[in-house]
Homo-oligomer: A and B are copies of this chain.
Amino acid sequence: MFDAKSVAVIGASSDPDRIGGRVLRFLRESGYQGKLFPINRSGSEIQGLPAYPSILDVPEAPDQAIIVVPTSAVESALRDAIQKGVKSVVVLTAGFAEINADGRAVQDRMAAMCKAAGVRMVGPNSLGLLNVESRLFSTFSVVLYGVSPKAGNIALATQSGAFGSALYGAATLRGMGFSKIVATGNEADVDVAQAIDYLAEDPATKVIMAALESAKDGQKLRRALLKAAKAQKPVIIMKVGRSELGAAAAATHTGSLAGNDAAYDAVFAECGAYRAQSQEAMLDIAYLVSTTGHLPVNNELGVLTSSGGIGVMVADACGDSGLTMPALPETARKAMLELLPFAVAANPLDVTAQITSVKNGTVRALDVMLSNSSYGTTLAYLASAGLAPATFKTSYEQPFAELKARHPERDVVVVTLSVPEVDRELEKIGIPVFNDATRATLALGAAATIRARWSNLYEPAEAKHEAYKLGDVSTEALAKEALAEAGLPVPQDVLAINADAAVAAADAMGYPVVLKIVSPQIMHKTEVGGVVLNVKNADAVRAAHQQILDSVHVHVPDAQIDGVLVCPMIVGGTEMILGVNNDATFGPMILVGAGGVNTELYKDVSVVSAPLTQARARQAIDKVKATALLKGWRGSAPKDMDALVTAMVKLSDFAMNHPEVMSVDVNPLVVREASAAVLDAVIIKHPEAAL
């Protein structure tokens, strides 16, 4: 649909500022070379072009129909277009699924019509699409009044037209160039995932920006992102709009910590994409990679500056962004001092104000740095040199071009206040220009992060598939049974139906023990006095049993009491949490993190997609700060990491085998020197599968 050679504008208007007129106007003014057929019931000529009352009257079948008629007339216009034999349709008109159920019904009929005819549709409620190179501007976006996108290697796929217009408008003002732009709107047919899939194969596209509010099909999005990564095209995404959490999911820690937004984060990271936190950050990253033509070869940064303060500022930003600033190697230090005896020959390299006394000193210093180090990127802070284009041309342009020719695989980023002509000249030789050192550093860090992700892309593991029907898991005792069956390390707890049974169980188990209430109505046992720790003998068991029943009776008088769970009192070890959240978009997501009270206090967790390999589980565990406690903290013996890894993989398999499970909390899972133990567990099934 980006390659249409002829376009019918159904609903074209003579007023070039009304919506239907604007579409035609932009196509006429953009420089589009294909044929244009304005369609309007009344007119025989619109904006100087011959017009037709219906698309059916057009002498040939146009490749594309753009529909801008009022909502009520869209369906019949679409029918006519399909009948005429168009290959693609862009429906700009709004008023469908985003309004109400009637609108959704019409939209669904339209989608079915297109599918049956093999016609692709963008929209409805879309701001359209642009093939910037061929000047096919199938849109009515008012941003085109102010800017005209120029051709380049960046593509944009956006759900929201307003959001997307702001993005390519701002990008165009910065001098960035585009290949293709598409706003998918209601996504009755083409969605953002599909657009990414297409752009991954598009030769004109080197970098993909995407903006989405939600994805209908998580697997499709995963596949599209992986395809782009394997095609070596960075995907930078803005994901806005936080999904509501289901009530049942939010009842567990995992439900709130591994919710839909965290699932998107995990999937983007696993599939080699990068989530930008603001429009500007997104543009910075796309600009950087679009200009250099590749991701930095590593995450090492060398910095050249004439101000110590700037160097430290960049170093601070590195810490936030995943870049490192390794020390200047000794060979580089010596060569640098030969060239610039007055310099602080370190990383950051401070060339001081005396650099002006050395001809081409800055660029020669960069050459010394690149020739004697492994830095993938050097950042050169040139203060305000870029404000004087004449001087800049003579002092910097040629030396920079030669530098880049000597180090084609390495990147040079310039930070300077500048006029656009200086920017354009440097960009031509592959050097991006930023006005702010912090923003340049953060963009470089993002690019290096994408490279790291590409070397560790998600490959779904084979889940051990032994699906069996899950029984009632509405209490701790039943949940633990199910997890024990799934292979998690659950201690031999005993459900006691009265005090005598509790004493017998404790005697057999050995003291001290823990007593806990068991009731499907009581999830937060501690809060109703339903737990007594460290019970040391038979008398204490009887007392604790009574105390629990009394307290629960006061707090939850109507609770169904299944009994009291007698558990061994396990002391020592490190408390972790494992969890499952069955995400509506992406399926089961697995959480690991600091357990006990720290789960809630510090949200020190890591979330990954199921199914899991041992290796991916280990990576996730390594991202948790509390994992340091398992690795021989301050001279103590290391804990049983393998037991934790295995438990996480087993939990992932459990989640894959039981799609009816919405959410699981295993908290705490205590990890000790030679074992791990599930001390508490909650399983929430999907409401429809709750029994």
A interface vs B, CB < 8 Å? 94, 142-143, 145-147, 159-163, 165-166, 169-170, 173, 211, 213, 238, 240-242, 277-281, 305-310, 312-313, 316-317, 353, 383-385, 387-388, 391, 417, 419, 435-439, 524, 526-528, 594, 597-598, 601-602, 604, 625-626, 628-629, 633-636
Contacts and interface: CB of A to CB of B under 8 A. Distances in A.
A280 B439 contact: yes
Nearest to A627: B601
Contacts of A161: 307
A contacts with B: majority SS = helix
B384 A142 contact: yes
B317 A162 contact: no
Contact of A387 (B169, B353, B438, B597): B169
Nearest to A417: B169
A238 B317 CA distance: 13
A305 B213 CA distance: 16
A143 B316 contact: no
Contacts of A277: 316, 438
B383 A162 contact: yes
Q: Which 8 interchain pairs have the tightest Cβ spacing?
A: A146-B387, A162-B307, A278-B438, A527-B635, A143-B384, A163-B309, A160-B309, A240-B312
A310 B626 CA distance: 36
A287 B168 CA distance: 25
Residue from A384, A388, A601 having most chain B Cβ neighbours under 10 A: A384
A245 B277 CA distance: 33
Nearest to A241: B312
26 contacts: A142-B384, A145-B384, A146-B387, A146-B419, A147-B384, A159-B309, A162-B305, A169-B384, A169-B417, A173-B417, A213-B308, A213-B309, A240-B309, A241-B312, A278-B317, A279-B436, A280-B435, A280-B438, A526-B635, A526-B636, A528-B635, A597-B633, A601-B602, A601-B625, A602-B604, A602-B625
Copies in the complex: 2
Nearest to A385: B142
Given A279-B437, A309-B240, A629 B387 contact: no
Contacts of A170: 417, 435-436
Contacts of A419: 146
B146 A384 contact: yes
A418 to B, nearest CB: 9
Contacts of A173: 417
A417 B309 contact: no
Given A145-B391, A160-B309, A524-B635, 11 more contacts: A142-B383, A142-B385, A162-B309, A163-B307, A165-B383, A166-B383, A169-B387, A240-B312, A278-B437, A278-B439, A526-B636
Contacts of A524: 634-635
A417 B166 contact: yes
A145 B388 CA distance: 7
Contacts of A94: 353
A601 B211 CA distance: 35
A597 B383 contact: no
A619 B211 CA distance: 41
B388 A146 contact: yes
Contact of A527 (B241, B313, B527, B634): B634
A533 to B, nearest CB: 10
Contacts of A238: 309, 313
Contacts of A308: 160, 213, 241
A598 B279 CA distance: 36
Nearest to A574: B597
A660 to B, nearest CB: 29
Contacts of A601: 594, 602, 604, 625-626, 628-629
